[in-house]
Structures are given as structure tokens and as C-alpha cells.
Chain A
Amino acid sequence: MSDAAPKVSVIKMYAAREEIYPREVKGWYANWRWICVWLTQLVFYGFPWLSWNGRQAVLFDLGARKFYIFGVVLWPQDFIYLALLLIICAYALFLFTAVAGRLWCGFSCPQTVYTEIFMWVERKIEGTRSARMRLDKQPWTAEKVAKKSAKHLIWGAIALWTGFTFVGYFTPMHELLGEVKTLGLGPWEWFWVLFYGFATYGNAGWMREQVCKYMCPYARFQSSMFDKDTLTVTYDKERGDPRGARSKSAAKSNLGDCIDCSMCVQVCPTGIDIRNGLQYDCIGCAACVDACDSVMDKVGSPRGLIRYTTENALKNHFTPQQIRQRTMRPRVLIYTGILVLIVAGFLGSLLTRTPLKLDVIRDRGAMGREVEDGMIENVYRLQIMNTDEFPHKYKIKVSGIETIALAGAEEVALPATGSRAVPVRVRIAHGKGQPGSNKIMFEVESTDGSDVEVKEKAVFFVPR
């Protein structure tokens, strides 16, 4: 900045939030957002009420360390699936962002989704954009108090229901409902219902665009996933500028297509002007596209003054087909390839998982000992986990050295989702195996026709 810049005024370092009154918008993209709202919320509010195998279909039982997701029961040992799920989400985000910008932000981020629901309530009670602005300016009358309290009451109810549903993923829903009826929730259940409820109310009711602009880390690094072929919500400056209102007869003026009606600014949930170019505040919700399209329809100009397009397309006047062709660029193909691989691996491994786990721990106290008839004996502890939801019987087998055999019990019965440590003695005849350690293999196999089998390597020690 040059020293000659005029010092017009000063403002404080901390600015109060300016209220944004987004105008209601209808159109293709708004419909898609509502479809996303319905889908995500049906899943979120609905899942805890479903049943499967006589228990809640989706339940994260932290106390018992078991995650139930329909037919799948995940144990702490299955933590890798959570890691994979997060990797899949990350790659999906990279892919969608590289292709079409902030689709996640604009259509399915909880912040967007709940704000959309809360704004709908706001509109139903306080009216349209101008009505809301008028209401906020007018002094506190009985009508204003009634409207505001009705709004906050409904917001609070939705928020509490959200918090309650959230806890319902961790505490069985029907138990929770009973506890709520008698106000007998545990301290942590109270905390999370209220905390999650408060967060919903605060974020969707009050913070809104502030979350996207100042709290969300994704907003800060989204640009690193963009390139010149990424579809973003863009104002076509070449076609629109210079802007200005016009009379019907002045069609031949030198003005562009933008009539400067500011509809695109009025509908923007983060309060920006898309005509200033790509900004980090733009969440890619395409509300301005819908708004501008409807205006263009009214003034009789072609749609798409504000549209999803790419930087290259705008510069080189690509046809939609050319834009689509450029989607097949290395970056997108690599993201897609990796994503397909991981998803396939994830599903494949999840579906072929055996509902039985085995850990072999060799007794540390003794190396190996000689027992009757000169046999050499080693002792192991087999931690057998039946991760299935039904009880099973298993047979323990051992192999790897000539004459190797179990001494004692070979049959184990485990209850549903039960685990047991079984001490096991393994013997070989004198003179078999190498002095020192020998590789052996434990096998645990179901004997009740459920056709489950796991193998685990171990070491047999022969004293010198």
C-alpha cells in the first residue's frame, strides 16, 4: 500500500457479525439441496429406530466396544475399517472437489443442511427476506416477541431432537426414550443430548456462514484441490459486464446481460457477491445460479450468466461437451482409480471377513519342557473371539511338525460375541523338529456347520 492512500476512517479490530438475510431461492440446484436434506436427515433420524437380529440396527456400543451396523458387528480389532472409511471419505472429497468444486459444502455438509432446515422454519414464521429485515428493525412489539419466541422454540425442539437422536446411536434408542420420559438420563447422556443440541441450535441458528468462513478448515484448503478445469460457480464477466438496469427500448445499449438486480447477492447464504470472482467464502451452493437463471428468464436473456463452469472454459469458450472431455484429466482419473481400489478392498474385506478371531500367545515363563515318554511340550494361550452374533462350537487343531498334537481339550464353545482365553498344551515326540524355534500353525474351525476357520502362526520351542 502506498503512503498516499487516503486515511478515510478507522474501524475496530474486531467486527460484529452482520446479519445476513438470504432470500428464498427456487430452482434446479435448490431442489437438489432439498433432496440431500431429505436423504441425510431420513438416514440420521431414521436409522436408530430400525431393528436387526433383535437389536438396534445401527448402534455404537462404546461400553462393550462393539459397533453394530446392520449385519456387521465391528470389534476394536476392526478399527482398520474406520481408518479405511475415513480415507474413502477423504478421496471422495478430493474427487468431487477436483471435478465440481465445493459440492460437499453446498449440498450435504451438516452445517448447510441444518441451516437450510432452520432457515425454512425462519421463513415460515417470520416471512420473506424483506419481512424479516423489517421485523428486525421494528421495536419489540407483542407480535415480534411472539414470532421470535416461536422461532427459537421450534429451533430448540429440532436441536434437542437432533441431540437425542445422536445419543441414540450410542445408547439403545428405546431405552433412551424411556429414560427421557422419566428424565432419568445418565450424566453423560444429558451432557451429549444438550451439547449436541446446543451445537445444532448455535451453528444452524446463529453462527451459519461464520462457521464456513472462520471455523471450517476445509474452506481454507479447498483451493488447493481446484485447477483450471474444475467446475465452479462463476459469473460470466465477459457476457454480463458492464452491468446496469435498462429500459425495454434500450436493448441496443452497450450494457452486458447483467441487469445489476443484486438477486445473486440477496440469495447468497454467506453474503458475498459472486460477480467479484472466486472467493473462499463461496460454498458452491449455486443459489445464485438459480436466482440469476430465473431473472434471465424474466428479462428474456439466455440462462447461465452465473453457472457452473471452469476457468479454462470461460477463457476459451468451451462447449459443454469440451468441458466434459476435460474431466478425464490425470488428476481426476488417479483420484477415481484410487477411490475405486480402496472401496473395492474395503467392501471385499468386509464381506469376506470371518466372524472368528484368534490370537496365540506363547507362555513366556517356559521355553519348552520334557514330559512323559520324552515328549516335548509347549504351552500356549489361545485368545479366541467369536465375533458372530450366535454361539458357536470350535475345534482347535495344530500342525507344522511331524507328530505334533494337542494334549487335552480340543473343543471350545463360545457364546454369542464372546471371547475366551484357552490354555493349550502342544506336544511333539522326542527327536522331531529342530532344536530352537519351529514354525507351527494353529487352526480353529467351527464344528457346527457354520463353516468358519482361522489360522494363526506360532512358534514351537524345542530345548537343545
Chain B
Amino acid sequence: MSDFTNSFWSVYIALLTLLGIAGCAILLWAQSKAKVEVGPDGKVTQTTGHSWDENLQELDTPMPRWWMWLFYITIVFALAYLFLYPGLGTYAGKLGWKSTGAYEEELKKADAEFGPIFAKYQQQDLKAVAADPQAHAIGERLFLTYCAQCHGSDARGNKGFPNLTDKDWLHGGEPDVIKTTIMNGRHGMMPSMAAAIGGDKEVENVAHYVLSLSGSAHDPIKAAFGKEKFGACAACHGADGKGNQALGSANLTDKIWLYGGSADTIMETIRKGRDNTMPAFKDFLGEAKVHLLAAYVWSLSNDTGAVAQK
């Protein structure tokens, strides 16, 4: 516990707390000895001394005695509480209760309840899990909670965030690869190629060649010049521009673009490079949940029949 820089403050607070309780006890005891005046008819005549509206006064009528006992009980309760639970400075309390401990307790309870369900699916092959309607529903909920922020609720991604519902994969779309991606994360990095290609003119030419690879609208003359310089790109994207899933390099021959497929965007990509990170969920979610997520993500681009059964 490092809330205090100096043990003095812990002692100071503990002392104030205990003195406060002792003060209450003394006041209570002194009051139980106090007396009030009574008239000949047995009725209280003493007032609190205040008067309102000239003659309106408050009688100092005795309080019920059980009330006093309630106060004593609260003092006993306070002392017992401070003995058992943390409350006196850095004293941890006899029971050793901690808020983190309470949180872990809740987690344990949740694991005990839902763990068996996750464990059952973890035993199964990913494709089998993907075909299970219940697993699909759990996977969908997990996806909406943990993945939808970047990939969208419909998993169709966004600029810079891959669409997970098509058949185009940077690192591979096999169930096991998807699981690895979620578990360990991915770091996609394309370096700036402007220097290697040489000059703005060349960058534009290469961009048009890249457009031509996927049959997109392009300037054939620029593309022809660009083809000569594409050698610098072929190391990663391959001579045919089909990319390489082992490296995570993009396939340039389809019309699927992570950052956009216009000539300007492609030029920017070549000039400045791209840097992309998918975080690892291994520690955060645990393998059991990732297993379900991987099956769900795979099912998005592979009809498993799980949805139809629902």
C-alpha cells in the first residue's frame, strides 16, 4: 500500500478515527448521566433554552433509552468493523479484505459459471465450433464487445481496419491462422518506397501499374513506365503482385484495399509507407474466448449453416 509517502499519516488518520469514536462514547456516557427538571405533575419543565416567535419553546423531554443503546451498538459495530476490515490507515484488517480480492472473487464466480461452456468449445475443432448456433451467438456477442470498435459491428472494417467478411486475408484466412492473429496480434508494416523508386514521377507511374494489376482504371503509359520500377515492390508483394501471407503483404491484384484504391491514396501509401497494429488478445481474453471468436470470424466469410439453424 503506497497511498501515503510517510507512515506518519497512516498513524495520524488511525488516531483521529479512534479518538473520534472514543469522543462519541464519552459524550454518550456523559449524557446518560445528565438530568432534566420535572414539575410537580411529573412533566418536564426544562427547555432547550431556545425560543421562537416570542414564546414558542422546546421542552427538553428525555429520549427513549433504547435509543441510547442503539448508539452504543454502533460504537461496538464501528470498532469491530475497523478490527476486521481495512479502515485504520494502513492497517489491513483481520480478514484481509481487498477490493481487488473482491473483484477476483467475482471473476472466479463468472469463470465457474461460464468456464465449462467455453471449455466445451475449446475442445472442438474450429470449423465444428463455427457450425454450432450457440457458439455463433456467443461469438457474435464477444465480437460486438471486443472487436466491433475497429472492425465495425458488421465486421466489414473501415479505412485501415480490414474487412473480415471477404475472402481476402493479409495473413491468411484459415481458422487456425485467424486464431493466431487474435491471440498474438499482428503488426503490418510497409516502408516508405519513394527513395527506392526515385522521385514523384516514378511514384505516380508505379501507382498506375498497381492499379492495372487489379484491372482498375489506370493510365496505360504511366503503368508501363511503372512496371519497370515495380521490382522494388516485388520483394514483398511478389513479381505478380499477388502478395504473400507469410509476410502479411497485400494482394494487389484484387479490388480490395485497406486504405483505399484511388491513385492518390496508392501514391500516398507508396510515398509514406503504412504502419498497422492489431493488438494481441491472448492475455486479455484468454484462449477459450479467442477460440470462439476465431470460429465466429471464420464463419463470416464461410457459410457454416450456424445462422440458418438459429
Contacts and interface: CB of A to CB of B under 8 A. Distances in A.
Interface of A: 1, 5-17, 207, 210, 214, 363-366, 369, 379-381, 408, 413, 420-421, 423-425
Contacts of B64: 14-15, 17, 210, 214
Interface string B142-168: 001000111011111011010000000
A272 to B, nearest CB: 13
Contact of A421 (B39, B141, B159): B141
A369 B157 CA distance: 10
Given A210-B64, A363-B152, A381-B148, A11 B161 contact: no
Contacts of B34: 12-13
B144 A421 contact: yes
Interface string B55-77: 00100001111111000000000
A15 B65 contact: yes
B66 A13 contact: no
B32 interface: yes
A437 to B, nearest CB: 18
B47 interface: yes
Given A11-B62, A12-B34, A381-B148, A1 B156 contact: no
Residue among A5, A15, A214, A381 with most chain B CB within 10 A: A15
Contact of B45 (A5, A210, A214): A5
Nearest to B150: A365
A425 B156 contact: yes
A365 B137 CA distance: 23
A9 B38 contact: yes
A304 B287 CA distance: 82
Interface string B33-51: 1111111100011110000
Contacts of B152: 363, 365-366, 379, 423
Given A9-B38, A12-B32, A421-B144, A369 B68 contact: no
A369 B67 CA distance: 69
Closest A-B pairs by Cβ, 8 of them: A423-B153, A10-B35, A15-B62, A14-B65, A13-B34, A423-B154, A381-B153, A366-B158
Nearest to B307: A409
Nearest to A366: B158
A361 B133 CA distance: 25
Given A13-B36, A214-B64, 19 more contacts: A1-B47, A5-B39, A5-B45, A8-B38, A9-B37, A10-B37, A14-B62, A14-B64, A210-B64, A214-B67, A363-B148, A364-B149, A365-B158, A369-B159, A380-B153, A381-B148, A420-B137, A423-B154, A424-B153
A13 B31 contact: yes
Contact of A13 (B45, B63, B149): B63
B120 interface: no
Contacts, number: 99
Contacts of B46: 1
If over half of B's interface residues share one DSSP class (helix, strand or loop), that class is named, otherwise mixed; here it is: mixed
Nearest to A16: B65
Nearest to B44: A11
A90 B51 CA distance: 33
Given A1-B45, A381-B148, A421-B144, A14 B38 contact: no
Interface residues of B, number: 38
A63 to B, nearest CB: 12
Contacts of A1: 45-47, 57
Contacts of B31: 13-14
8 contacts: A5-B39, A8-B39, A11-B36, A12-B62, A13-B34, A363-B148, A365-B150, A365-B161
A210 B69 CA distance: 14
Contact of B153 (A214, A369, A379, A420): A379
Nearest to B41: A8
Contacts of A365: 148-150, 152, 158, 161
B114 to A, nearest CB: 15
Nearest to B34: A13
A8 B41 CA distance: 9
Interface string B62-104: 1111111000000000000000000000000000000000000
A401 to B, nearest CB: 19
A325 B152 CA distance: 69
Given A7-B37, A425-B154, A425-B156, A17 B144 contact: no
Contact of B39 (A6, A379, A380, A420): A6
A211 B111 CA distance: 46
A253 B36 CA distance: 42
A346 B64 CA distance: 42
Contacts of B35: 10-13
A365 B37 CA distance: 76
Contacts of A13: 31-32, 34-36, 62-63
Interface in B3-44: 31-40, 44
Contacts of A379: 152-154, 156
Nearest to A13: B34
Contacts of A369: 158-159
A14 B34 CA distance: 9
